[in-house]
Structure 1
Amino acid sequence: MLPERTDVLVVGAGPTGLAVALTLAGHGVTATVVDRLAEPPVTSRAAVVHAGTLEVLDRIGIAAPLAARGLRSARFSVRDRDRVLLTVPFDRLPSRYPYALLISQAETEAVLTDRLTALGGRVLRPYEMTGLDLDGDGAVACFDGGRAVRARWIVGADGMRSRVRELAGIGFGGPADPGESFLLADVHVDSALPRDQVSLFLSRQGPLVWAPLPDGTVRLVATVGDAPRDPQAHHFQALLDERGPARRPDRITGMAWSSRFRIHHRIASTYRSGPVLLAGDAAHVHSPAGGQGMNLGLRDAVALGDALAAGPQALDGYAADRRPLAEEVLGFAAGLTRLAAAPPPLRPLRNLLLRAVSALPPARRRIATRLAGFEPASSRPRPRPR
């Protein structure tokens, strides 16, 4: 049941919202977490947690349990059909987690929820936010059924269609185009590709990501011109035939689930409006190229939890620090997508450039560090856990 009052109300119980609450719990601050869904989803888009994110999550006690459930990938390869253009090694990262951890977002959420529950927290479901009134003492959030909660701070972690962001009147800028269309599936596949690394296939039709998961399935994500409403195995087989290995083609033998989605490259005009704070997809959305979205959201969450625990003076710093990082990630993801879909006249030059980079260890290490999501260390003081 919803409380009448709370210090921090977190709207959205995805990875970002759970990580905000968990970070606060580590500082001895109890947050109220609500979600509009009656049950957590069992399918999800994100499938990788990078080393830089694991370093941050280690501070809130979930890096080790995540690593125990995931598949550790020591490298990332960029391919044009059968040709490996670039291999990015993760095993020499300056980290206790020298790999990319391949794990379903549903598993990531389960680990976060288990840890939050162990610390006495829980998620209240299903409650859909319908209104928001701001005043000098914080905010009153209204929910379906006439329920209301007064909170000192409201955290919008409710995704790219954030109701919190909309009700707070925060702009969500971006191009007025229909966005990029994607197909996604977890499939069983007969393949000669290595099962210990993610492969990014470049094609003039667009990129195709091939990522093995711990349960033996392979996550496929691809840009398409017009995604079918109900994608079937044959749609993904066609993508593999068009963009994947040619000499030893992959053959799909089964499909666990599939989906389609559309992404716009957008960023909130501000991460803070009075008592309202944004994090994760509520604050930024972009192409899934490079697997940066959920990772950036998780790092937002820990930074925001720290700032909320440190006091009001730290919250403007959170907003000032995080938005430029999101702008950089948006540019990086968009650049990867453009690189993948280079027109035919430019593809030989692109491939030559990537192979030249692959021959330079320092360049490979820089790319690995960038993909891994290491961020500049903040000079702002963090509160000590109580």
Structure 2
Amino acid sequence: MLPERTDVLIVGAGPTGLTAALTLARRGVEVTLVDEREQPQVTSRAAVVHAYTLELLDRIGAGAPLVARGLRAPRFSVRDRDRVLVTVPFHRLPTRHRYALMVSQSVTEQVLTERLAEAGGRVLRPYRLTGLHHDAAGAVARFDGATVRARWVIAADGIHSTVRTLAGIPFTGPADTEESFVLADVLVDSTLPRDGASVFLARGGPLVWAPLPDERVRLVATATDPPAEPDAAYLQRLLDERGPAQRPDRVREVFWSSRFRLHRRVAETFRAGPILLAGDAGHVHSPAGGQGMNLGICDAVDLGETLADVLAGGPDRLLDEYADRRRPLAHEVAGFADRLTRLAVVPPAGRPVRNLLLRLVSALPPVRHRVALRLSGLNQRVTVRQ
């Protein structure tokens, strides 16, 4: 049952909402976390947790248990079929997490849910938000059969955020950025190394090949009009067209598959009075580079700690500073993901030059290190609230 009043209402119990709730609960804040689904999702888009995200999860007690359930990948590669164009090692990163952690988003959510329970919190399901308005005392949220007054509301309800829509916050971006993607967890016969993710640059678009625990592999690829649930034959064609050529992968089993479409979008503000945005409610972009969930988790820790400080007597302007920090980061990450996608779709005549330039650049250790910092998220240390 929903409470009549709460200090903080969080709508959406994905990684962003769970992280925000855990951060606040550990600070002793009264928080109510709701989700409209009856059960957590067992399939998920994200499959990597980067080093900076792990550092922040360490701060709220969720880093170590998540690392224990994931696969450490100490490098990232960019390939054109059988040619390795760039290898980005993580072993020199200035962190204890010198790797990318390959782990399904559903596992990340399980770990966060377990830690939230230990902190005295839980997810209330299923509650669908139907109305929202705010006044000088906070916000009033209406659900089917219930009303909750909250001092603050966090929108963590994803791309199609009801909170953001009801708050009247525009969600804007270039008109020509719609892309379709295929995702699948598969079992494959492959000679590719399982100590790092690979991005294959191909004429049809990028293909991400990422190892997961239990011998599974996550495939992510741009595609034109893909089926709702791509089957083994469809995924095999993608691998044949974009993956290794001399010793091609062979799909043995498909555990789950899906498609989704998205536009590049960033909210025009991350704060409207007592309503605050985090994660996909505030920004969405290409999954290239595996940045989306990571940015959302980082939003959530930043917002949770900032909001806890305000509730403890800190100035209200701290929340404006949160919004001012996170929105430029969202634009920067969206641009980075777009650039990775554009590298893949260079016309055939330009691919030799592209490949040569990438191989020359990859020969420079300082450049490789900067790319590693960017992929890992550690470049955010200079811009986020510590």
Q: TM-score range by the shorter chain?
A: over 0.9
Equivalent residue of 2:41, what SS?
A: coil
| Preserved contact between residue 199 and residue 208 of structure 2 (Cα < 8 Å) | yes
Quickly say closer, same or farther: Cα 1:78–1:378, change in 2 above 3 A.
closer
Selected match of 2:329 from 320, 325, 345:
325
Distance 1:151 1:99 in 2: 39
| Cα offset, 1:334, TM superposition | 0.5
Quickly say closer, same or farther: Cα 1:195–1:322, change in 2 above 3 A.
same
1:233-382 superposed matches below 5 A? 233-311=232-310, 312-374=316-378, 375-377=380-382
Distance 1:229 1:214 in 2: 25
What's 1:40 paired with? 40
| Preserved contact between residue 182 and residue 259 of structure 2 (Cα < 8 Å) | yes
1:89-104 superposed matches below 5 A? 89-104=89-104
Distance 1:353 1:91 in 2: 24
Where does the alignment leave 5 or more consecutive residues of structure 2 unmatched?
A: 311-315
| Cα offset, 1:376, TM superposition | 3.1
Deviation digits for residues 252-288 of structure 1, max 9, x if unmatched?
0000000000121000000000010000000000000
Q: RMSD across aligned C-alpha pairs, in angstroms?
A: 1.1
What's 1:194 paired with? 193
Quickly say closer, same or farther: Cα 1:101–1:379, change in 2 above 3 A.
closer
| Preserved contact between residue 30 and residue 121 of structure 1 (Cα < 8 Å) | no
What's 1:55 paired with? 55
Where does the alignment leave 5 or more consecutive residues of structure 1 unmatched?
A: none
Deviation digits for residues 14-45 of structure 1, max 9, x if unmatched?
00000001111121112100000000000000
| Preserved contact between residue 132 and residue 139 of structure 2 (Cα < 8 Å) | yes
Please identify, of 2-11 and 50-59, the stretch whose mean Cα deviation from structure 2 is larger. 50-59
| Preserved contact between residue 21 and residue 30 of structure 1 (Cα < 8 Å) | no
Equivalent residue of 1:66, what SS?
A: helix
| Preserved contact between residue 325 and residue 384 of structure 2 (Cα < 8 Å) | no
| Preserved contact between residue 141 and residue 148 of structure 1 (Cα < 8 Å) | yes
Structure 2 letter corresponding to 1:105: Q
| Cα offset, 1:178, TM superposition | 6.9
What's 1:135 paired with? 135
Distance 2:383 2:304 in 1: 14
Identity of aligned residues (%): 68
Please identify, of 34-43 and 167-176, the stretch whose mean Cα deviation from structure 2 is larger. 167-176
| Cα offset, 1:219, TM superposition | 0.2
Q: Quick check: 1:5 aligned with 2:5?
A: yes
Quickly say closer, same or farther: Cα 1:234–1:197, change in 2 above 3 A.
same
Given the two structures, how large is their TM-score scaled by the length of structure 2? Answer: 0.97
Distance 1:292 1:240 in 2: 23
Q: Quick check: 1:88 aligned with 2:92?
A: no
| Cα offset, 1:346, TM superposition | 1.4
Q: Which runs of 4+ in 1 moved over 2 A?
A: 175-178, 376-380
Equivalent residue of 1:58, what SS?
A: helix
Structure 2 letter corresponding to 1:247: Q
1:141-160 superposed matches below 5 A? 141-144=141-144, 146-160=145-159
Q: How many residues align?
A: 380
Given the two structures, how large is their TM-score scaled by the length of structure 1? Answer: 0.97
| Preserved contact between residue 177 and residue 264 of structure 2 (Cα < 8 Å) | no
What's 2:179 paired with? 180
Distance 2:286 2:179 in 1: 8
Quickly say closer, same or farther: Cα 1:247–1:330, change in 2 above 3 A.
same
